[in-house]
Amino acid sequence: MGKIKDADAVGEVGNLNCGDVMKIYLKVEKNKIKDVKVETFGCIAAIVTSSLLTEMAKGKTLDEAYKITNKDISEGLELPNIKLHCSVLAASALRKAIDDYRKKFKV
């Protein structure tokens, strides 16, 4: 968890008003995620799901990483219903970061 200073792309979701914010930083090499980190403002479920997501995404190709769903993340976590949105947030933050990368580097 934390920030990548010279990240190739960034994806941010949520806002302070709703209580959860995730900001994902990507470092990409040869279409693969070389490094990924996240900064999270949120409850433990938000922290855990976003941190777990970075572990899942690391080493994957952009296409593979894009396919990670909130179900993949929340599997085995036994998140209460009210916290399921945290895993949704995490998945969409990653997709937003990948979108950002594709837009910037036109791939």
Partner 1 sequence: MKRIYMDNGATTKVAPEVAKVMKKYFSDSYGNSSSLHKLGRDANKKIEEARKIIADSINAEPNEIIFTSGGTESNNLTLKGIAFANEKGSHIIVTKVEHDCVLNSAKWLEKQGYKITYLNVDTDGFVNEKDLEKSINEKTILVSIIHGNNEVGTIQNLEKLGKICRKRNVLFHTDACQSYTKTEIDVKKQNLDLVTLNSHKIHGPKGVGALFIRKGINITPWQHGGGHEFNLRSGTLNVPGIIGFSEAVKIANKKDIEHMIKLREKIIEGVFDKISDVKLNGSKKERLCNNINFTFFGIEGEGIVGYLDEKGICASTGSACSSNSLEPSHVLQAIGFERKDCNSSLRLTLSRYNTEKEVDYLLKVLPEIIEKLRRFTPYKNV
Among 4, 9, 26, 47, binds partner 1 (CB under 8 A): 47
Q: What mask, x for binding partner 1 by CB under 8 A, covers residues 24 to 43?
A: --------------xxxxxx
Say whether residue 82 binds partner 1 (CB under 8 A): yes
Which residues have C-beta within 8 Å of that of residue 36, sequence separation ≥ 6?
4, 24, 25, 26, 27, 54, 57, 58, 94, 97
What is the rounded distance in angstroms from the CA atom of residue 58 to the CA atom of residue 53? 9
User: Near partner 1 by CB under 8 A, which window of 9-17, 60-68, 71-79, 95-103?
Assistant: 9-17
